Amino acid sequence: MQASSPTVFVQRDSRAWQYQVWVSFGLAVFLCGTGLGWLPGQSLDRAFMVMGYVFCLSAVFVLAKFVRDNQNGAGAAGKDVPMWKLVVWGGFFTAMGLTGWGLLRMEINDTYKAFLGVSWLFLVSSAFTLAKTLRDRHEADLAEARLQGRREAHVEAAQAD
């Protein structure tokens, strides 16, 4: 007599949630691109702001991965070294600080600054959400692959008996 294996459910985000996350991220990129593309003033200011937005976007994905990898006190290959933690958090705060400083010091009207600031924060927020959604999907795929491997091994073992 075989013991029945428990039913395991791998939780996944709904298609609606995934769609919302991608639409939000795309909209944030579009708004930032539009704001930066029409930015009045000198080309150097525009270049600085584009670099700042890209730096922030990169720092968000690195920070999201770092936090997720270390959520239980250990990364994939053990706990990260303290210097890496400093680099990740320092990079994020440096990116945010320099971009905010650049935005505040620009000689453009306050309404335009507000648009750039809000679209920038929308980009950062939606990037964190996108990183989480992508990581959740990856982990669900891995869990399903492990379950499928266990089922196949169980069937092979049963056939060998």
Domain count, the chain: 1
Specify whether the CB–CB gap between 95 and 7 falls below 8 A.
Answer: no
57 is a domain residue: yes
1 is a domain residue: no
The model's pTM is 0.82
How far out from the chain centre does Cα 144 lie? 22
> What's the average pLDDT block by block, 10 residues per block, for the chain (161 residues)?
62 93 97 92 88 96 92 63 93 96 92 95 97 92 85 81 71
156 is a domain residue: yes
8 is a domain residue: no
Kindly give the residue spans of alpha helices, DSSP state H, lying in the chain. Answer: 15-37, 43-69, 82-105, 110-160
Query: What is the model's pLDDT at position 122?
Result: 97
Give 119's Cβ-side CA count (13 Å radius). 22
d(CA 85, CA 78): 13
Query: What is the model's pLDDT at position 28?
Result: 97
Domain that residue 50 falls in:
15-160
4 is a domain residue: no
72 is a domain residue: yes
